A and B are shown apart, each in its own frame.
Chain A
Amino acid sequence: GAGVSQSPSNKVTEKGKDVELRCDPISGHTALYWYRQSLGQGLEFLIYFQGNSAPDKSGLPSDRFSAERTGGSVSTLTIQRTQQEDSAVYLCASSLAERSYNEQFFGPGTRLTVL
C-alpha cells in the first residue's frame, strides 16, 4: 500500500504568482488534513476534509488560500498571489476517519519558496 504522496516536492515561485499543491491520500482514508510548517515552527493547521462533509477551513490564514478535494480522494491546495511569508513546507496527512483514536499518516510535503 502506497502512503500519502504530495507533489511537487519543491516549488519555487515568484511573488504574486498562484501555486497549486497536490495531495494523494492513502486509499480508503476519509479524513484529509493540510498543515503548514514554517522554519523552526510547529505544524499549523490549515484545512480539514472528512468524507462528504463541508471542510473545516478555520485554519486558512487568508482568502488567498483555498483547497478542494475531488471525489473524496485527491486534494489540491491553491495559494493565490503568493507572498514571501507563504514560504514554508506544506504537509498533507490522511487518516482512516476523524475519530480521535486514529493516527494521521503524513506525506513527504511540498517545500514552497516564494522569491
Chain B
Amino acid sequence: EDKVVQSPLSLVVHEGDTVTLNCSYEVTNFRSLLWYKQEKKAPTFLFMLTSSGIEKKSGRLSSILDKKELFSILNITATQTGDSAIYLCAVRSGGSYIPTFGRGTSLIVHP
C-alpha cells in the first residue's frame, strides 16, 4: 500500500521566516510527486516533481525531490500572511492513476 507522510503536521511562524515542509513516501513504481496549497477548500497546484535533484521554483516557493531517500521538501522564503494554508503532498505511482495524499502541513504565518 502506498504511503505519504508529511511533517510537521502544523507550523506557526512570523512573517519573514523561512519554512521547510517535508514529504516522505513509500510507493511502488514512483511516477511523480505533487505539491498543492489549500486555502479554504480547493487545493491549487504548486509543483510536480519527477526527477531527483532538479529544483522547481516559483517566486518564494521552491521544491526538490530526492528519489533515493524517498522524500521531497517544499521551501517558502520570506513568508507572508498569505502563505497561511494547508500544504498537501501527493504521490502518483505507475501502478495506479489515483494519487496518494498525505495529511498535509498546516502553516500559519503571523504578521
Contacts and interface: CB of A to CB of B under 8 A. Distances in A.
Given A91-B43, A106-B42, A108-B42, A43 B97 contact: no
A48 B42 contact: no
Interface stretch (B56-64, B72-80, B100-108): B100-108
A5 B102 CA distance: 24
Given A100-B31, A100-B94, A101-B50, A106 B99 contact: no
A33 B88 contact: no
A48 B96 CA distance: 11
17 contacts: A35-B101, A42-B88, A42-B101, A42-B102, A43-B88, A43-B101, A45-B98, A48-B97, A50-B97, A56-B97, A56-B98, A59-B98, A91-B41, A101-B48, A104-B45, A109-B42, A111-B41
Contacts of A99: 97
A26 interface: no
Interface residues of A, number: 26
A79 interface: no
A91 B88 CA distance: 14
Given A42-B88, A59-B98, A108-B42, 12 more contacts: A42-B103, A45-B98, A48-B98, A50-B97, A56-B97, A89-B41, A99-B97, A100-B92, A103-B45, A103-B48, A105-B45, A107-B42
A95 B48 CA distance: 14
Shortest 10 CB-CB contacts between residues of A and residues of B? A100-B31, A109-B41, A98-B97, A42-B103, A43-B101, A100-B92, A108-B42, A42-B101, A106-B42, A106-B43
